[in-house]
Amino acid sequence: MADLLRDPVLMVGEGWDAYRLLDSGHGRKFEEYGAYRFIRPEPQAMWAPRLSEWDAHGEFVPGSDEDGGGRWQYARPVPDDGWELAWGEEARFTAQCTPFRHLGFFPDMAPVWDWMGAQLAGRSNAETMNLFGYTGVGTQALSRFGRVTHVDASKKSVARARENAALAGLDDRPIRWLVEDAMKYTAREVRRGRRYDGIILDPPKFGRGPDGEVWRLEQGLPDLVSDCRQLLDAESSFLFLTVYAVRMSSLALGGLLAEVFADLPGTIEHGDLAVQEDVSGRLLPTAIFARWSNPR
């Protein structure tokens, strides 16, 4: 029976050559993406900034609605088509200012990519799945260990993920690129009797599938996690679940996994993802997570 550890865990990203959190405060954050610096909204940065000035190339100014609207304002030129960045020797991808306030990847996921690699260390034939895979940096990280199934409902995101993989020289890696609704696809995989060694899922609060399917996190997550559980067994290594921008505790996610994974060995942990500032060392929380791991 998988043990739920009650004390929360912090997974902290300290930045790397291609990304750094320089400062934060007063509801914003100041970040460096390669040669360019940006200011973006960050409601959890309730403290005061440490730097007296933020010299940025651009800033995302949010709209008046609650659905993530807004626009970029630029003080200096930024490449419209994006610019190349890397994560260690493992992944290469294009950063770009998107209408959704982010830059085409989620840098706070770097410690998760490391953690998944630790679970699969020594493997070359693992079968893993990246649900809601977006632009595929996590898929690139997983592809070192075997076959990866990359699933996202956005045709545009999957196309960008394939472009990123080509940029990284991974055309020969065994990656399946699927434009699919995550719930429908996992349910079909269960019916097919498929199994995986590891699954990562990063579901949005709200979304639509390629055929207009509606996704609402609180309603759909229990069934999705249940299907993911059926794709794993006692020989599998991990499941990692992240959730952004919701009024929910990581303990709730941990409790969900504890119920669904009760018949498997291993450990269930929960906690926060955070990024450490360069200037002060302060930790800026970004998401909550729960994870099941099964050392073999």
Quick: pLDDT tens for 242-289: 998 777 899 999 999 999 999 999 999 999 999 999 989 999 999 999
Residue of 69 and 14 predicted with greater confidence = 14
With 90 as the cut, is the pLDDT of residue 296 above it? no
The per-residue pLDDT for 217 is 79
Token code pair at residue 125: 């034939």
With 90 as the cut, is the pLDDT of residue 221 above it? yes
With 90 as the cut, is the pLDDT of residue 177 above it? yes
Once rounded to an integer, what is the mean pLDDT over residues 149-154?
Answer: 96
Domain spanning 3-14+80-293, CATH class: alpha beta
Residue bearing tokens 């934060």: 24
Number of H helices, E strands in the chain: 6, 18
Residue of 166 and 204 predicted with greater confidence = 166
The per-residue pLDDT for 260 is 96
Q: What is the DSSP secondary structure assignment for residue 173, as one 8-state letter?
A: S
With 60 as the cut, is the pLDDT of residue 66 above it? no
- Cα–Cα distance measured from residue 19 to residue 32, given in angstroms and rounded to the nearest whole number: 5
The per-residue pLDDT for 65 is 58
Residues 6+ apart with CB under 8 A from 191: none
Give tens-digit pLDDT for 90-123: 899 999 999 989 999 999 999 999 999 999 999 9
The per-residue pLDDT for 205 is 84
Q: 259 in helix, strand or coil?
A: helix
> What residue spans define the domains of the chain?
3-14+80-293
Once rounded to an integer, what is the mean pLDDT over residues 87-92?
Answer: 90
With 60 as the cut, is the pLDDT of residue 206 above it? yes
Q: What is the longest distance spanned by two Cα atoms in the chain?
A: 58
Per the prediction, the chain carries an average pLDDT of 93
Q: Give 64's pLDDT tier (boundaries 50, 70, 90).
A: low
Question: Are 61 and 73 spatial neighbours (Cβ–Cβ below 8 Å)?
Answer: yes
- Cα–Cα distance measured from residue 118 to residue 151, given in angstroms and rounded to the nearest whole number: 23
Q: Give 18's pLDDT tier (boundaries 50, 70, 90).
A: very high
The per-residue pLDDT for 67 is 57
Token code pair at residue 102: 């982010």
Q: What is the percent of the chain with per-residue pLDDT over 90, rounded to a whole number?
A: 84
